[in-house]
Structures are given as C-alpha cells and as structure tokens.
Structure 1
Amino acid sequence: MLASKYRAFHNAVAAFVPIARIITDPLRLLAYGTDASFYRLVPKIVINVENEAEVARILRLAYKSRIPVTFRAAGTSLSGQAVTDSVLIRLGEGWQGCRVYDQARRIDLEPGIIGAHANRTLAPFGKKIGPDPASIDSCKIGGILANNASGMCCGVAENSYQTLEELRLILVDGTVLDTGDDESKRRFREKHPEIVEGLADLRRQVISAPELEARIRHKFKIKNTTGYSLNALVDFEDPFDILKHLLVGSEGTLAFISKVTYRTVTEHAHKASALMLFPDIRTACEATIILKKQPVAAVELMDRPALRSVQDKDGMPPYLRELCDTAAALLVETRAGDKAELDAQIETIKAALAGVNMVREIEFTPVPQEFAKLWNIRKGLFPAVGSVRATGTTVIIEDVAFPIERLADATLELQGLLDTYGYSEAIIFGHALEGNLHFVFTQDFGDPKEIERYSKLMDDVTVMVVEKYDGSLKAEHGTGRNMAPFVEMEWGQDAYRLMQDIKRIFDPLTLLNPGVILNPDPKAHLKDLKPLPAAHELVDKCIECGFCEPICPSKHITLSPRQRITSWREIQRLQGKPEHKTELAKLLKAYGYQGDGTCATDGLCGTRCPVGIDTGKMTKALRAESATIRQKKAADWIGEHFAGVARTVSGVLQAVDAVHAVAGTKFMDVSSETLHRMTGKRVPRWNAQMPGGISRIRREKVNEGNPLKVVYFPSCIARNMGPSRCEKIRPLPETTVSVLRKAGYEVIFPENMAALCCGQAFESKGFVAQADVKSAQLEEALLTASRNGALPVLCDTSPCLKRMQEVLDPRLKIYDPSVFVLEFLQDKLTFTKKDKRVALHVTCTSRKLGLEGKLLELAKKCAAKVVVPEDIFCCGFAGDKGFSVPELNASALKTLAEKVEDCTEGYSTSRTCEIGLALHGGIPYRNILYLVDECTA
C-alpha cells in the first residue's frame, strides 16, 4: 500500500501519463527495479517515460512533493547507481532520436538508443562513437554518458567527456536546458543564476588554489569515474561548458539527460591482433609501457588465473594449457586506414618489443575470423568465473586504475590481497594502456562472515589503491553505492567539498538518486545487498547483467529474461515461509502472464548471455512441472491421434476462411477481438493473415533410376496451414516440390506422414515426454525413407528443423531450405535475379543455427535488393502465441512496417512467423522457397 505522499504523487502523474506505464504491482516493481549490480532496492513506483515533457512534469511534481527519483536506461551498470526504494523513472520505448550530420563528424542521440545501434548508423561513414564499453550491445546512450563508460579502446582520449559536444537536460525542478541553443541558455541564466554563478565561483576557487588544481589535473591523467568530473572546473571557463561536462559521469544525481551530441571518431577498416605471452606479470606490464608509445588501439592484460579460466573452452589455442603458473598475456590490436599502413605498424610494434622476454614469438593476424578467436579469450573471462560459481553467490567485478609505470607492482600486490583473503577463483584482467584493472571473484552475501571478508578485502584494496599508488577506485564502472563511502578518501577534503557544493548547486534537496556518488554512511557499500537464492538449475548462473534484454520480444510489454529470473528467484525465496503466503500468492498469480504466458521461449537470450542461459528452457521446464494429469492425458491423446487432429485443424481453418469470405475482414476482426477478450483469451484471436486449410499432399511415383533423390518432410504446420485469403499462391509443399523437380530431384515423402510431428509443438508447452514420443516416430519414418541416412532430408520449417537436428539419429542429414538449395540445387538451376526489393526475416532458430549468412546469400541470388530489418529479432508469434497472446507479436514487430515499407514482399522459413510478419509488416511474407521457385528455371 502506497503511503499518502506517494499515493498523491501517483494520482498526479496519472493525469498525464497512461496508467499502463505507471507500475505499482509487486512483481514488476521487483523486476523493473533490478539492475546489474549486487544491490537490491525495490521502488515504490516505476514510471516508463516516453518523452521530455513527461519527465519535466514528473520532476516538477517530485520536487514539489519532496520525493526522491532515480533514472534508469538499460540497467547494465555495476555499482548500484540505478536502484532505488522511491520512484524509478525508466526510459520507455521512445527516446530513439538519431541524427548524423556535418559529414558524420557529429551525431545527435537520444538516451534510449543502444550504443551498438549508434555505431551501426555511423558505420557506412567509417565512424563510431568514442565510448566502447563491453556492454555496448545492451547499454544505452543515457547510461553511457551518465556513467562516463569507456572500454578497451577509447581510454581517456575518446570517452564521453572528451567527445561531448552539447547536451539537452532537465533539472530537478523540471527546467529544460539545451547547451547548444543560445536562447535556451539565455532563459536558463535568468531562471537559474545561482547555478551559472555558482559554477563560475567554483572554478575561481579551484584556479586560485594551485595545489587543488594540480591535484584535479593529475587525477584525470588515468581513467577515473570516482566522484564528479572535477576536471570540468579546470578544463573550461564558460559555466555552460562546465555544466555539461559535470553531467558526464554524474550517474543521474545532477539532472536527466534527454539528448547528447557527440563528436564521432574514426573506425579504421584494417585491423590486426596478436596474443603476446610473457613469463610473468611484471614483464607484461613493462611491455605495456613500451606499447603506450606505439601505434596500438588496445592492449588487454590477462593474468595466469584468467587465462586458465578459459583455456579448456572450445576454440581456445592449445598452447594456453602449457603456460607456467606465473605467465601473463597481452592482447594487442593495431588499426589503420589501409593495408600498407597496417603492415608498417605491425613491424614497428614488433621492433619496439624485440628486447622483451616472451614465451612465444609475436604473431599478428589481420584475418577477422582469426583475431575474433583471440578476442573471445578476453570476452570469455567474466563469464568463465560466473559459470563456475556456487549457487547463491554473486560475481563481483571491481574496477581500479593505477599510473601505468606502477602497474606491475600494483597488479602483483592485488594478486597477493586476493590470495590473503582466500579468493582463490579470482582473476585479473584489464585495459593495460590506461593502467585499468578489473578483478573478478565470487561472493556470498547471505553469510555475515562472508560479508565481513569482503569488507576487509575492500578496505585493504582502497588503502592500497589510494595511499600507496594514488590510483582510481573506480576507473570506468562509476562510483554508485559501491565506492561512495570512499570518495573523500581518494580525493581529499578540499576536492570532496567541491563535489558536495556541486550536488548542492544542482540538487539542493538531494532528490536525484540519493546515496549515489556522495554518501556519508561509511558502510553504505555493505547494505541493501542483493540476494541470489537458487531459482532453477537452468538459470542459477544468471548474473542479472541485462545483456539478454535487447533481443527479447516481450521486453516492452511484460518481462525480459533477466526480469523473469529475478522474479522467479524471489518466488522461490518466499516458498515455505508462512509469513509471506499472501505476497507469494500475488507474485505467482502475476507471473502466470508476465513470466510464463508471454515468454516466446525462442532461446535468443542465450545467444547474448555471458554464461549461455536460455531462459526459455526454464519456462518450458516450469510448464512441464506444472502440467496437470489431465493436461498430460490430453497431450497423450493428441499425440496418438495426431493425423485426425491435424485434419480437424485444417478443416477448421477452411471453415473460418469461408466465413471470412462471406462476413468480410472488418466483421471478423471486431467479433474475434470481442470473443478473445470476453473469454479471457481462451479463444484464439483471428487476424487478417489467418491461413486457410490445405488439401492432402499428393504423392507421385519415384523413378528409382534417378540418382538425385531427397526425402522431403513438410512440417505439420506446412501440411495444414495454407496461404491466407489475401494471397493467391500455391501451398508451400507444392512449391517446394516444384523447386526440387526443376532441379531434377525425385521427391520421397515419409510413410504415414499425416501422423508425424517433430515434437516441437509439444515441447514448447512443457509436454516433453509426448514430444519425445513424436520425435521417435519421426526418426523411424525418416530413417526408413532416407535408407538409414543415405539420402538427404529437407525440412521447410526452421523451428522444426532445429529440434530434428538436436534429437534425431545423427545418421540423418537434415537440411533447411537455404542450405539445401545452395548445397544441392544451385548448380542444377538457372537463377534469374528479379529487379525488386524484398525483406528477409531470419527466425530465432535460424539465428541459433548460424544460418543468417546462407539465407541472405540465397535471397541475393534471387532479388536485386535484400533488406534485413535491424533490431527485429524474434517475431513473437511463438508457435500459436500470435493467436492466443497477439500483443506479444504486435510488440515484437512494432517497428517492422517502417523498416520494410519500400519492399514488395518478405521471406522467411516458418509459416507461423510469416503470419505475424505479414500482419504487422504490411507486405506478404512467404517461405524463401517461393522466391527460389519464382527466380529459377
């Protein structure tokens, strides 16, 4: 129950923000309030904001009511800067504004754009944004700037602070300022002279204190995100330049950032990498000092435990296992505008290191596939620790920096501290050029003794970093709550007082993200620690980083994979606790739709997860565990009578299509929506792309003398779902046979085909035993038809293909349409490229099978222009969910129509996906074999 102050605030916000975007239910408050850090605070209200005007009004209300607010972009931050127990203002689906101009030397970005998307936009111009955090595929521009996030290559020369041009921001009282607009600045001077004059006065104080000025300049020679960006006070004179640079790294404690203009940096076309191996850390660090003066873009340090953590993974160089216990490595990359320049740089680097003792000779590779394998070593380090940790423990990644000339001593001392406190699994790696080290270890926050161990370690680390090496306690991960108690220790009283003055100038009531950056509580970093109880063996390794979220089809309507795991963890934590019976019941009820009902189980989350977690597998497992005896018996009956059930479904589709022909689309749409809603979604939702039924597939006699034979298994979907009423085309099986016969192939269908199913439809609903029965039947039929695997098997539907490849006898060589055409048919067909623009949708299963390239190659043989819409991943149709939960499909494909508006048609490899794609894309979508049939002879 909300307190009266929050209730009044909620009601006031509801006057201008749709109630659907104001979250107060316990499940989503918990889920949406979770970030990647090891802190947990549950907000009282979450508001998904869509534009600047909403944020300004919300802040004015919060200011008037004295209610603290915290801003959230992607929630990938690691130091606790995006959690709150008050009001969380969360970026909604908007905030996607992007403008490239000035010959791509500048780019305007709204805070909701993912960093990698900005880089894709700039790629055709040979440009990118400066910051390059490891989370760039998930984190958003607002968070990148607010945390001054950097990464492997940008260092201190190309981070947000150095490449910032202008900002548009909203202050705590709702005032909007655009630093690139003179009129906006004039109004701001009139309304907030205390800010403008206050910042000018702070600069005067610093300039008049030479020791303080020198201290600030010295601290920012290496990476530093501890406290505020005090370098703004010495680098700039104009108060507005100072203001906008103070916002960099301010972690939402000074203002809301609604737009940023970056100066772009060059993305070199030619790159080469080398994994350099040294006998010990000291030699590697000494080599880094030499490399600092060479034409290198990145130098990544890895200690022996780090290398050991990945040496047995697939694709790792075998020589890693042979290294001695003291060995260390540097992963070095050099970049250039052309090959000749790149070759010259490689020789320069080798010559500079000629006198350094190495374990192996330096070998640079410019081949992308080869250097990608080397970088996979570095990328695999954090997941390697996360995947082997004990259930219930947290992965901690701390982030410090030292002057590069003292990096060797500091690294050895850090190793010693970790050993002293018994963190035997700890690894050290980092951006050596900047003296920036990450150390990763696992921590149990459920045991007071373990918390005390962590506390003592961090006390000793802070003393070592600050007092012995004068380094940074937070180099690039932001201060957050994690290092807030130690800011004064690192900076000293005078600089800390400046930071307090900055906070007071911008946020006199301490309403913006209180407790972050500046926190007087010396134990703040040990409070509000996130519990990670066992939830399910399939997801217990989840580190709640949020890397999975951008690719999830349900992220905008219910929960993302991270949020599903967070919610299920809490549900499991409350199990068996009578005092939480009511709370548990509410969470379970809400999870039915939010967690289970809208999970597409597409598994794409596993392709982005650092520890390979497929949350869809957990959803399927939970469905299996909750299935009733009655439901299992029904599944048994359907499996046993599959041919009849399939014929009935096809007949129903034909009947519905007949009604559609008479009643018209508008009547069908309105009446279907009403029926769907009134029955609590138990009756599927009809749509205009609903397929008609299909006649039985005709078999023809096979010419045994023809050596070209293929077993064709049309999926049960392809066998029973024909074209929709708005399409005048043949059913897919007929089209597939047409392509095969053009190429001279004899087509063999498995016996009793009407009763066959791969089991995918059963498995997705949790009926694993029934799925396995159907798979076994199919396996037997395909082995017979293919002569024990001697003949290739073609399946026209990618979700079915994936399951077949995973569970059927490995003797069976099962192919998807694109691979089969390219491998077996293209030399037997004449392709005529059509002068048209077509869209291509790569299904989730095709992505997981790595077939994107094959599908694109085949489409390009057929059409002059092929468009693969960016940021359209899973379509959200998910088998039959496009009918039962149509909002999932609608949300996943919300932006599709604008991305394919210039296309005449689209192609894919799943009939159900094609229904949703056509519905929301506004163009017909068909199987890729239709395009092949049209373009070949």
Structure 2
Amino acid sequence: MLAKDYQSFHDAISKSIAKQNIITDPLLTVAFGTDASFYRMIPQIVVNVETEEEVQIILQEASRRQLAVTFRAAGTSLSGQAITDSILVRLGKGWQNYKIFDKARKIQLQPGIIGSQANRFLAEFGKKIGPDPASIDSAKIGGILANNASGMCCGVAENSYQTLDSLRMILADGTVVDTADDTSRAQFKRSHAHILEGLTTLRHNVLSDQNLTDRIRYKYKIKNTTGYSLNALIDFKDPFAIMQQLMVGSEGTLGFISEVIYKTVIEHKHKASALILFPDVPTACSAVPLLRDGLPVAAAELMDRAGLASVEHEPGMPDYLAGLGETVTALLVETRANSASQLRKQIQQIQASLAKIKTIGSIEFTDDPLKYKVYWNIRKGLFPAVGAVRDTGKTVIIEDVAFPAQHLAAAALDLQSLFKKYQYHEAIIFGHALEGNLHFVFTQDFSITDEVIRYRNFMDEVVTMVVEKYDGSLKAEHGTGRNMAPFVEKEWGTAAYQLMRQIKSLFDPDGLLNPGVIINEDAEAHIKNLKPLPATHELVDKCIECGFCEPVCPSRNLSFTPRQRIVSRREISRQMTANASSSEVGALLKSYQYPGQETCAADGLCGTKCPVGIDTGKMVKALREEANGELANLVADWVARNFKGVARTINTTLVAVDKVHQLTGTAFMEQASSTARSLSANKLPLWNREMPSGVKKIQPEKVNPENPLQVVYFPACPSRCMSGPARGETEVEDLPQKTVSLLKKAGYQILYPENLEALCCGQAFESKGFYKQAAEKSEQLNRALLSVSAEGEIPVLCDTSPCLLRMKENLDPKLKLYEPIEFVLDYLLDKLNFTPIDAKVALHITCSSRKMGLDQQLKILAQSCATEVVIPEDIYCCGFAGDRGFNYPELNATALEDLKRQVKGCDAGYSTSKTCEIGLSVHGNIPYRSILYLVDAATTARRKNKETAVNNTL
C-alpha cells in the first residue's frame, strides 16, 4: 500500500506513462531497485521511462509533492549512487539512438547505449569513446558520464570530462536544455538566467580566491571523482560549458542526461603487452615515473602479490605465478601504435628505459592477441577471484583511491599494513599505476554489528591516510556515491565543499535529485542501508550483483535479468528467515513465478559474462525441479520410458497440423491458435506460421566395412520430430535427409545408434527440472553411442548444438562428439570443394555454440559458403529455449525485437538448432535453417569421394 503522496504521484503519472512501466509490486521494486554497490534501499515506485517527456512529467509531479527522484542506467555503480527509497527512474528499452559525424571525430549517443556498443559503432572508423571502465560491456553511456567513469587506459586525458563535446539534459524542474543547440540555449537563457548568472558568479568567486583556485587545480592533477567537477569553474568561461561539465560526475544529483556528444579518440590497430615482475612494491612503483613521462605507454596495471596469488591456480594462468616470492609485484604494461614497425620501436624504447630497474626475468612484450590476452585475464580476474572465494553472506567490496605519483609505493604499503591490522587477510591491491590509482578488494560481513564496526574503523583509517597523509583522492573513478559522501568535505576542505553545496542548490533548490549522494551531512551514511546477502541457493550464493550478466539475457526487456532473479530469491529467503507470515512469503513466491522462473530461457549465457561464473539458469532449473510434484514426475517417467512413441506422436501431429495449415491458410491458423491460447489463460502453446512439418522415418543403410570414412550420426529428437519444411519453405528436405546427403557427398559411411527413435540426450527433461529422467536418457544414449562408435573410435555427429553441449557435459569423455560447425571444419574441408554461393546470409550463434567457443568458427564456415555474411549485433539468445517459445512466445519476441531490421536484405539465415530457427524465422522474416543446408549448397564432391560414393552403392 503506497503512502498518500506516492499514491497521488502514481495516479498522476499513470495518465501519461504506460501502466506496465510503473512498478510498485514489493518483490519487483526490490529486484529493480538493487545496484552493484553494497547498499540497498527499496524504492516506493520504479518507473521505466521511454522518452524525455516522461522524465519531465515525473520530475514535475514529484516536485509538486516534494518526492525524491533517483536516475538509473545499468546499475553497475559501486558506491551506492543508483539506489533510493523513493522514486527510481530507470531507462526503458529506448534511448538507443546514435549518430557518427564530423568524419567520425564525434559521436552522438543516447544514455541507454552500452559503452562497448558505442565502440562497435566506431570500430570501422578506427575510433572509440575515451572512457574505458571495466564495466564497459554492461555500463550505459548515461552512467559512464554521470560517474565520470574512466578505466585502465583512458586515464585523466580521455575520460568523459575531457572528451565531452556537448550535452542534452533535463533539469530538476523538467526544463530541457541542449548545449549544442542555439535555439535551446537562447530559450534557456530567457527562462533560466538565474542559473547561468549563478554559474558565472561562482566562477568569479573561485578565480578571486587564489587558495581555492590552487586547491582545485591540485586536486585534478590525479584521478578524482570525489564531489562535483569543480574544475569546470576554472577550465571554462561560458556558463553553458560550465553547466555541461558539472553534469559529468554529478551522479544524477543535478539533472537527467538524455543525450551526449563525445569527441572520439583513436583506436590503435597494433598493440603489445608485457607482464613485468619486480621484487617488491617500491621497485615496481619506481618504474612508473619512467613509463608515465614521455614513453608511449597506454596502460600500466599494478598487481600486488596477494592479487597474483588469488588467480594463480585458475585455468589458463601462467605456471610461474605459483612460484613467485612473497613480495613480488607486477606491472602489466601495454603500448599501442598504428603500424607494426612503430610498435616495435616503442617496445624497444620502453625496454631500454626500464633496463636499469631490477626485474624478475626479462621484459618481454608480445603482440600475439592470444598471448597478451592471458596477461589481461590475470588483471581482469583479480576482482572476481576474491568474490568467488568469500563466505556466503559476505559482501565483496572494491575501494578506489588515488595518490600523487611520488607517494604510490608508500601508500600501497600503508594499505597492506591496514589490511593486516584489521585482519582483512584476503585483501588484494591492483590499479592504474600511471594515474596513481589503486583499487583494493576485500570481503565484509555486514550482518554482524561488530563486523560493521570493524569496517567503519578500517575506513576511517583509510580516509585519514589518503587525505591527511598523502592528500589524495578518496574516489578516483568510481564516483562519490553514499560511500564517500560523508568525507567529501574532509578531502576537499570547507571552502570547496561549500562551493559544491552552492552548485547543488543552484540546480536542485529543493534537494530532490538523488539526495544523500555527494552532499550528505550524515557522518555515518556510509555504514547505513547496508545490503543483506542471505544464502538463497548454493548455485548463486557467490553472486556479487554487479549486473555484468544483464546485456546477454533474452528476458532483460521482458521480465527479470539473472541479477534480478538472484536478488529476488535472496529477498524471499530473507523474508523466510525473518519469519514473515506465510501469506507474505506466498505473495512473494507468486510474484517471482513469471519473471523469475517461467520466462527464464535457462540458456547459461549469463555464466559466460559473470565475473564469478554463475549460471543463473541452473538455479532456475533447480527451482523447477523443486516445483515438479509427484504427478509431474510420474508423467516425465512415462514420457522417458515411452519416448519412441511420444516422438512419433509429435511427428504425426505436426504432419496433420501442416495439412490443416495448407487447407485453412496462415491467417486462420494464427487467429484460431491465438483464440485458443487466450481461452486457456495462456496455458496452450501458440502456433506460429513457421511451424515445421513432420520428418520422414530414418532408414539406416548397409555399411561397407572396407570404407575407412565412417561417422556415427545422431539426429537430435527435434531433428527427428520437427525438422520438416514449414509451409512455403523452399528447402523441402528435412534436416536428417540433408545431413545424410551431405555426409554421403563427402564419402562417409553413416552409422546410427541402435534403437535411435527412443534416444534423447536429456535436454528436454533437464530444462523443465526433471533431472532424474534427464540422467536416465543420457545414460541410455551413452551406452548406445559407445557401442556404435567402437568405444569412441568413430566420431559422432549430432546436428543440434544445444543437445551436443549437454552430451559433452554428461557422456563418456571417450566419445568424440561434434556438432555441425566443428564436424564440417574438422572432417569435411578436405573432402569437399567449397564455392561460396552468391547470397547474403544471416547467422545466429546459439547459446550452446557460444559456450563451446564456436563463434568465430561459425563465421569462418559461413564465409566459405556465401559471399556476404551478417551477424546481428546484441542478439545473443533467441529466447525460444526449446519449447518455451511456444508456451511463452513473448520471450522469443522480446529477445528478437530488432532482428528483422538487422537481417533485412538477407536471403536466408543459418544456425544449429531447429527450435531456435523456428523463432528466428518468425521474427527475422526470412527462413532460418541448419548451417548444414548452406554447406550442402556451397559444396561439391571431390573426385575421389565421387568414386568412393559409387563404391559404397555397389
């Protein structure tokens, strides 16, 4: 039940904003209100906004009722700047427009674009945006700019402040101003002269106070995101320029950023990296001034011994890490150039400059992407390494400080001493050494009062050390947030802090925009509203709620993301532990059902992006298993035992449905199916126009034992039941027929496992939470494949990649298991002639293919078969998820909502999963088929294989 003012606000905005975008459900507000920080506040109302007009309405209606408003982009912020207990405004599905202009020297971006997307837009021009935060694959432009996020290479020269060209913003009263638009500037000058005059006055006051001017200049000699960007008052004279620069790093406390134009920077074509080992921290830090001053160094990442130790046993790490001494410290150095010859010169220059500094081993650079990726994986693995080994219930904290370069070594040693004093034994240090920027990571339990006190005392000493001893920055690039708001005045001094208060008052006189962030008079705000992390499920308890998983989730624009699924389960577990009433817990469980369980594709892609490797889909499947009652398990047992008959029934039914489709037409079928589904309260699956017909029965042929080319072909059950042509499809052969034709063309003898029609890999059972039945089917298949393959001597081809992945994970490792991509590349390239057909084709890389690392292989294969290949961007999982696309078609539709635009002009699409291809065909408006169809169309038999084929028929 909303309080009176919030209910009034809700009713007012409901007149203009879609009902589904205004969220008050208790579980959903927890899920959508959580960010990556270790703080939690539950919003009263969450609003997903699609337009500037909606933002204006929200600000105006909130102002009338004096209700606080906080803006959220991706929610990857670490310092608590994207949470609230009032109104949370989230970017909806829009905000994706961009424009590249001025010969790619500039890019115009809306705030919903992810940082790495912007760089992909610019890649063909050899450019990128300046900021490069570690979260660039998840963080959105609005948040990157609002936090002045930087990163490993951009330093202070290429961050948002330095590369900002112009800004379009919405102020607290709902006024829109675009600093690149003369008309907008003129209107704002007439309506808001007091802001422009106020900024001019503040600039004059600063320049009249030499001590304050010097203080500001000093503070920005190193990385600093504590407080407001006071350097704007010194660096710029035009009040519009001052205003837009103050928005950088303002963390949503001064206004809403609706569009930005960045000046782009060069993305160098050639790179080389070296992992340089030094005997200790002081020696490593002694190399930093040499690297920073005059040398062509793009990055120098410092890693202490504890950090190296945290990843030394991880897969793919260099063996020598485990044998390093207790004080060894590393610098990961990268240099970049536009030519290979220039890169070599730069490497020699760096090596020569560091020649007199003691190192462990020689300084060896590599420009091999595979080799230097290993080095960068060490650096990228530090934060998750600590997060993965923490005890359940503990929070992983990453702090972010900076020091004048001459104090870097001493400060790092001081931090290590504080870790020992406060017994943070797992703590590690790493950071951007060129900028004097150190990150330190440790784990903390906030559920125990004594532990909170330990954290408070530790942070008090850190603040004293950073500010009083070294006059450094308490926040170098992660933003002030709630974490450091109590210490802004201590770091900056009273005069500068009062200046910040004046800025806040000028833009937000009622203090309604993100209160408590940057300006906060509560000395203990940093130890309040701490996030609980109760155990909820062993498969996800290590989640650090960073949000890195979200961009690849197919349900992200429909229901929950993996982070939100975990956050919600934690809240349910917390309520259970707190002895909430059964009705309250029941209501939460009911709220969770659709967004948490039913619309999860359980594709596992989230695990490929998660810093600690969590596959949220596994938790969802486990929850489905728990929900499966006795009757459901009895039905699953029956289906498993009678799989042959069930498969035949499906096949026969599809043949019959196809005949009805032929007689009645597509429009009738769609209307009838939609009506039936509505009458069943969405319990019946939804027919679609790409529904396949049945499949001809597979007839094994006699094998010639003299032919050395043999393959075991296991057509997956979707291929055996539903890979016939949809009505209107020009390819009339079903997938098993096409696969057999291709294999014979290459000269292969085809073997089939015994009792083929009864076999299944278990994927269909596992996805619904029937693990016992899935295991039984896997074991049955395992025995059959071992027998037919001569205990693994003969390769096995499965035509469906999701099934093949499960087979690899569950069957005997002796089996040589292949899905179509690898099999063609490994076994058919030398047996067929490839001639690319004159066609523009689209590819869909299935979740399983991505997890098996076959992205590039599929692209290479397709490029050998067609003259033009298109891979749609930002479409990862299609959302069909086996049969879920029939039962929850909105999941498939949401995941592929931009597919049609991206594949326009393509002749056909290709993939490696029939069910995925159904949904892709529906939403791409082109036929999607197995990649084997494209390979067959682009190949002819080599002569010896023609002779072999003749011999095989004799």
TM over 0.5: yes
Q: Which region of structure 1 is more displaced relative to structure 2, 405-414 or 244-253?
A: 405-414
Match of 2:775 among 762, 772, 775: 772
Matches within 5 A, 1:172-191: 172-191=172-191
CA RMSD of aligned residues (A): 0.9
Within 2, Cα distance between the matches of 1:149 and 1:105? 21
Q: Which residue of 2 aligns with 1:884?
A: 887
Within 2, Cα distance between the matches of 1:573 and 1:243? 44
Within 1, Cα distance between the matches of 2:818 and 2:420? 52
Give the residue type in structure 2 aligned to 1:464.
Answer: M
Deviation per CA, 1:582-624: give whole Å up to 9, x if none: 3211110011111000010000000000000000011111111
Deviation per CA, 1:655-703: give whole Å up to 9, x if none: 2212212222112112211221221222101111111122211222222
Q: Which residue of 1 aligns with 2:110?
A: 110
Within 1, Cα distance between the matches of 2:88 and 2:671? 37
Moved over 3 A (4+): 576-580
Match of 2:847 among 841, 844, 848: 844
Q: Percent identity?
A: 62
- 2:666 equivalent to 1:665: yes
Q: Which residue of 1 aligns with 2:635?
A: 634
Q: Which residue of 2 aligns with 1:417?
A: 418
Q: Which residue of 2 aligns with 1:331?
A: 332
Q: Which region of structure 1 is more displaced relative to structure 2, 810-819 or 865-874?
A: 810-819
Within 1, Cα distance between the matches of 2:667 and 2:660? 12
Change (3 A) 1:580 1:287: farther
Question: How far apart are 1:581 and its partner, in Å?
Answer: 2.8
Q: Which residue of 2 aligns with 1:152?
A: 152
Q: Which residue of 2 aligns with 1:910?
A: 913
Question: How far apart are 1:96 and its partner, in Å?
Answer: 0.4
Deviation per CA, 1:462-499: give whole Å up to 9, x if none: 01100110000000000000000000000111000000
Q: Which residue of 2 aligns with 1:446?
A: 447
Q: Which residue of 2 aligns with 1:725?
A: 727
Q: Which residue of 2 aligns with 1:51?
A: 51
**Count of residues in Structure 1 that have an aligned counterpart in Structure 2:** 937
Q: Which residue of 1 aligns with 2:814?
A: 811
Question: How far apart are 1:578 and its partner, in Å?
Answer: 4.0
Deviation per CA, 1:441-477: give whole Å up to 9, x if none: 0000000000000000000100110011000000000
Deviation per CA, 1:802-858: give whole Å up to 9, x if none: 011111111110111111111111211122211110000000000000111221111
Matches within 5 A, 1:272-291: 272-291=272-291
Q: Which residue of 2 aligns with 1:582?
A: 583
Q: What secondary structure does 1:125 align onto?
A: coil
- 2:8 equivalent to 1:20: no
Q: Which residue of 2 aligns with 1:127?
A: 127
Q: What secondary structure does 2:829 align onto?
A: helix
Deviation per CA, 1:201-248: give whole Å up to 9, x if none: 000000000010000000001000000000000001110010000000
Within 2, Cα distance between the matches of 1:19 and 1:338? 55
Give the residue type in structure 1 aligned to 2:267.
Answer: E
- 2:943 equivalent to 1:919: no
Question: How far apart are 1:326 and its partner, in Å?
Answer: 1.1
Within 2, Cα distance between the matches of 1:580 and 1:560? 27
Q: Which residue of 2 aligns with 1:233?
A: 233
Question: How far apart are 1:577 and its partner, in Å?
Answer: 4.3
- 2:207 equivalent to 1:207: yes
Q: What secondary structure does 2:830 align onto?
A: helix
Q: Which residue of 1 aligns with 2:656?
A: 655
Q: Which residue of 2 aligns with 1:553?
A: 554
Deviation per CA, 1:11-30: give whole Å up to 9, x if none: 11111111011111112111
Within 2, Cα distance between the matches of 1:677 and 1:556? 23
Within 1, Cα distance between the matches of 2:645 and 2:848? 28
Q: Which residue of 2 aligns with 1:928?
A: 931
Give the residue type in structure 1 aligned to 2:156.
Answer: V
Q: Which residue of 2 aligns with 1:435?
A: 436
Q: Which region of structure 1 is more displaced relative to structure 2, 542-551 or 331-340?
A: 331-340
Q: Which residue of 1 aligns with 2:713?
A: 712
Q: Which residue of 2 aligns with 1:305?
A: 306
Within 2, Cα distance between the matches of 1:384 and 1:423? 15
- 2:757 equivalent to 1:785: no
Match of 2:759 among 756, 760, 777: 756
Within 1, Cα distance between the matches of 2:836 and 2:411? 62
Question: How far apart are 1:625 and its partner, in Å?
Answer: 2.1
Within 2, Cα distance between the matches of 1:597 and 1:58? 32
Q: Which residue of 2 aligns with 1:616?
A: 617
Change (3 A) 1:407 1:813: same
Within 1, Cα distance between the matches of 2:128 and 2:235? 25
Within 2, Cα distance between the matches of 1:877 and 1:553? 9
Q: What secondary structure does 1:299 align onto?
A: strand
- 2:694 equivalent to 1:693: yes
Q: Which residue of 2 aligns with 1:171?
A: 171
Question: How far apart are 1:185 and its partner, in Å?
Answer: 0.6
Q: Which region of structure 1 is more displaced relative to structure 2, 824-833 or 270-279?
A: 824-833
Within 2, Cα distance between the matches of 1:809 and 1:905? 36
Q: What secondary structure does 1:329 align onto?
A: strand
Q: Which residue of 2 aligns with 1:374?
A: 375
Q: Which residue of 1 aligns with 2:366?
A: 365
Give the residue type in structure 2 aligned to 1:692.
Answer: S
Within 2, Cα distance between the matches of 1:306 and 1:711? 47
Deviation per CA, 1:537-564: give whole Å up to 9, x if none: 1100000000000000001110000000
Q: What secondary structure does 1:56 align onto?
A: helix
Q: Which residue of 1 aligns with 2:242?
A: 242
Question: How far apart are 1:576 and its partner, in Å?
Answer: 5.1
Within 2, Cα distance between the matches of 1:619 and 1:579? 23
Give the residue type in structure 1 aligned to 2:376.
Answer: W
Q: What secondary structure does 1:712 align onto?
A: strand
Q: What secondary structure does 1:575 align onto?
A: helix
> TM-score of the superposition, structure 2-length normalised?
0.98
Within 1, Cα distance between the matches of 2:36 and 2:581? 26
Q: What secondary structure does 2:243 align onto?
A: helix
Matches within 5 A, 1:85-100: 85-100=85-100
Question: How far apart are 1:281 and its partner, in Å?
Answer: 0.3
Q: What secondary structure does 1:257 align onto?
A: strand
Question: How far apart are 1:107 and its partner, in Å?
Answer: 0.3
Deviation per CA, 1:65-91: give whole Å up to 9, x if none: 211110000000000000001111100
Deviation per CA, 1:704-741: give whole Å up to 9, x if none: 22111111000010001022112132100000000000
Q: What secondary structure does 1:623 align onto?
A: helix
Question: How far apart are 1:52 and its partner, in Å?
Answer: 1.2
Question: How far apart are 1:626 and its partner, in Å?
Answer: 2.3
Within 2, Cα distance between the matches of 1:642 and 1:874? 28
- 2:273 equivalent to 1:270: no
Q: What secondary structure does 2:725 align onto?
A: coil
Q: What secondary structure does 2:365 align onto?
A: coil
Within 2, Cα distance between the matches of 1:336 and 1:935? 40
Q: What secondary structure does 1:685 align onto?
A: coil
Match of 1:830 among 824, 830, 833: 833
Deviation per CA, 1:865-896: give whole Å up to 9, x if none: 01111101000000001000000000000000
- 2:722 equivalent to 1:684: no
Q: What secondary structure does 2:439 align onto?
A: strand
Q: What secondary structure does 1:827 align onto?
A: coil
Within 2, Cα distance between the matches of 1:241 and 1:70? 24
Q: What secondary structure does 2:797 align onto?
A: strand
Within 1, Cα distance between the matches of 2:755 and 2:409? 70
Q: Any unmatched runs of 5+ in structure 2?
A: 941-954
Question: How far apart are 1:279 and its partner, in Å?
Answer: 0.7
Q: Which residue of 2 aligns with 1:594?
A: 595
Question: How far apart are 1:366 and its partner, in Å?
Answer: 0.7
Q: Which residue of 2 aligns with 1:746?
A: 749
Within 1, Cα distance between the matches of 2:640 and 2:141? 50
Within 1, Cα distance between the matches of 2:679 and 2:275? 63
Question: How far apart are 1:136 and its partner, in Å?
Answer: 0.2
Q: Which region of structure 1 is more displaced relative to structure 2, 131-140 or 577-586?
A: 577-586
Question: How far apart are 1:321 and its partner, in Å?
Answer: 1.4
